[in-house]
């Protein structure tokens, strides 16, 4: 028997939130669809796993778990500062870069303040703003790219933050640096522009912008915060470690809204070891580039249309209903993402996998588009 309904009032802004739809977990597919050995190419993770050095460091750290972690992440922050040429005070660590998004909104957005994002882009920006009672202004992508002119037009005296995922998730497009610099010089100095670089490692060097000068030389220009993560190229999605690069004054505010031990001990140790394993990192970049090229070539041969990408995933126009294709592929044990909820009814998004996973994906895509009559 159900108990009496709760008498509490759920605030309207919370009631209005649709929970974030994560990629379907492998265990869930096994349980619900009864498929054996499913593969997941749906969350832009590193399909080859964490660095062997990170695994070793994590194993060794198990004996220290009775202690609280270092709340300042001293060694990890120091290593990042050395690598990126910034000061430790310009880095804030987060439980995934997701948490830095949360800190920024908590610290700078009050009820009724405005935040500008693109659609489609990473969904968490808007949800966190909703929690805070802020107002989302959502500007549609133009030709699969951020519409910087459209975003500029939305800026008002109440705008506090602008989130740009660069490269964009889900389209994989990056903003040409010349356009980005021009955009930043046109935005008022009172607005923080957040460049979410979760996939920066995979981006062409010519498209990467200089975080060092953008977080510092703010004379006559808006401040810029960079978001980075260990979840993608570094293969540590499960540990939850990300960070932000920003002016010290902004970092000070973020430290005020975070929990004292937001990065757990395993995360600190694993991320540090992964950061130091340059060889494995380079191998990941190489495998990713090769895998993307292979997949795109094969996908196009099947009669679908692949989109160019600056990331470890890409969009595919399947020339038919993406939701149906997604379901059909689930029965074959292959998890991808349908992009219909993002406004692309005929597109799926796929993350590059290991050679074996890529071939399994291609085989199942080929079978499903034939069965569904798309090609
Ligand atoms: C653009 C973008 N930003 C941020 C994130 C979140 O990353 P993290 O695992 O560091 O929280 C993702 C994850 O998919 C993403 O695609």
Give the residue, by CA position, lying nearest to ligand 1 atom 8: 96
Q: Which atom of ligand 1 is nearest to the CA of 97?
A: 10
Residue 370 CA, ligand 1 centroid: distance in Å: 33
Q: Show the tokens assigned to 224.
A: 């810029």
CA distance to 1, 81, 196, per residue, from 163 (Å): 46, 24, 7
How far is CA 129 from its chain centroid? 17
pLDDT at 246 over 80: yes
* 347-351 vs 114-119, strand pairing mode: unpaired
| 284-340 tens-digit pLDDT | 999 999 999 999 999 999 999 999 999 999 999 999 999 999 999 999 999 999 999
Q: Is the pLDDT of residue 217 over 90?
A: no
Atom number, ligand 1, closest to the C-alpha of residue 167? 1
Q: Which atom of ligand 1 is nearest to the CA of 231?
A: 9
Laid out side by side, the sheet with 313-317 consists of 305-306, 313-317, 347-351, 337-338
Residue 217 CA: distances (Å) to CA of 214, 247, 248: 6, 9, 12
Candidate from 22, 229, 263, 313 with most ligand 1 atoms within 8 A of CB, to mutate: 229
The pLDDT assigned to 71 comes to 97
Q: How far apart (Å, rounded) are the C-alpha atoms in residues 92 and 357?
A: 35
Distance 236 CA to ligand 1 centre (A): 12
Average the pLDDT over 42-55 and give the result: 97
98's tokens = 């997701």
Q: C-alpha distances in angstroms, 122 versus 50, 117, 150, 170? A: 24, 9, 18, 7
Q: Which atom of ligand 1 is nearest to the CA of 242?
A: 10
Atom of ligand 1 nearest to the CA of 199: 1
Tell how far the Cα of 258 is from the centroid of ligand 1, in angstroms: 19
Mean predicted lDDT score pLDDT of the chain:
96
Q: Tell me, in angstroms, the distance from the centre of ligand 1 to residue 166's CA.
A: 11
Query: Which atom of ligand 1 lies nearest, measured to the CA of 230?
Result: 10
pLDDT at position 1 is: 58
User: Quick check: 360 pLDDT over 70?
Assistant: yes
Asked if residue 163 lies in contact with residue 144, where contact means CB atoms within 8 angstroms, the answer is no
Give the pairing of strands 313-317 and 305-306: antiparallel
Residues having CB within 6 Å of any atom of ligand 1? 44, 96-98, 122, 165, 169, 196, 198, 229, 231, 237, 242
Confidence of residue 375 (pLDDT cuts 50, 70, 90): confident
Does 159 score more than 70 pLDDT?
yes
Q: What is the spatial distance between Cα 262 and Cα 81, in angstroms, rounded to a whole number?
A: 19
Residue among 118, 231, 236 whose CB has most ligand 1 atoms within 8 A, to mutate: 231
Res 22: pLDDT = 78
- Predicted confidence (pLDDT) at residue 90 exceeds the cutoff of 70: yes
CA of 167 to the centre of ligand 1 (A): 11
Rounded to the nearest angstrom, the distance between the alpha carbon of 97 and the centre of ligand 1 is 6
Confidence at residue 168, expressed as pLDDT on a 0 to 100 scale: 98
Residue 279 clears pLDDT 80, i.e. is over it:
yes
State in Å: Cα 109 to ligand 1 middle.
21
Section 103-117 average pLDDT: 98
* Strand-pair category, 91-94 with 242-245: antiparallel
Cα–Cα nearest to 127, from 258, 35, 21: 21
The model's pLDDT over 252-277, given as tens digits with 9 standing for 90+, comes to 999 999 999 999 999 999 999 999 99
State the average pLDDT over residues 79-87.
97
Tell which one of 40, 119, 198 to mutate to probe ligand 1, the residue whose CB is within 8 A of the most ligand atoms.
198
Cβ(155)–Cβ(164) under 8 Å? Answer: no
- Position 5 scores a pLDDT of 87
Between the CA of 322 and the centroid of ligand 1 the distance, in Å, is 23
């Amino acid at each position: 028997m159900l108990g009496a309904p709760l008498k509490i009032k759920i605030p309207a802004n919370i009631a209005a939130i649709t929970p974030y739809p994560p990629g379907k977990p492998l265990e869930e597919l096994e349980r619900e669809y009864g498929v054996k050995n499913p593969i997941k190419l749906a969350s832009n993770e590193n399909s080859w796993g964490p660095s062997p050095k990170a695994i070793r460091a994590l194993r060794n750290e198990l004996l220290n778990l009775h202690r609280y972690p270092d709340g300042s992440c001293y060694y990890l922050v120091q290593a990042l500062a050395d690598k990126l040429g910034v000061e430790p005070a310009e880095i804030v660590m987060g439980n995934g870069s997701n948490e830095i998004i949360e800190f920024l909104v908590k610290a700078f957005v009050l009820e009724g303040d405005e935040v500008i994002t693109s659609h489609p882009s990473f969904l968490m920006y808007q949800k966190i703003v909703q929690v805070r009672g802020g107002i989302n202004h959502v500007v549609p992508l133009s030709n699969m790219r951020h519409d910087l002119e459209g975003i500029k037009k939305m800026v008002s005296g109440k705008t506090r933050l602008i989130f740009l995922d660069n490269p964009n998730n889900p389209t994989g497009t990056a903003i040409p640096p010349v356009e980005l610099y021009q955009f930043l010089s046109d935005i008022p100095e009172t607005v923080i522009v957040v460049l979410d670089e979760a996939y920066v490692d995979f981006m062409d060097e010519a498209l990467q912008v200089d975080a060092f000068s953008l977080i510092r030389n703010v004379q006559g220009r808006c401040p810029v915060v960079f978001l980075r993560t260990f979840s993608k190229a570094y293969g540590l999605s499960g540990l939850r470690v990300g960070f932000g690069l920003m002016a010290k004054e902004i970092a000070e505010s973020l430290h005020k809204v975070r929990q004292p031990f937001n990065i757990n001990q395993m995360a600190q140790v694993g991320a540090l070891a992964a950061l130091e394993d340059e060889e494995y990192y380079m191998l990941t970049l190489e495998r990713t580039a090769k895998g993307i090229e292979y997949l795109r070539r094969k996908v196009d041969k099947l009669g679908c249309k692949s989109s160019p990408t600056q990331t470890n995933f890409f969009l595919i126009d399947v020339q038919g209903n993406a939701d149906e294709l997604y379901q059909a592929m689930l029965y074959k044990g292959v998890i991808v993402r349908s992009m219909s909820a993002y406004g692309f009814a005929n597109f799926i998004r796929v993350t590059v996998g290991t050679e074996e996973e890529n071939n399994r994906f291609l085989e199942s895509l080929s079978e499903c588009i034939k069965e569904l009559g798309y090609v």
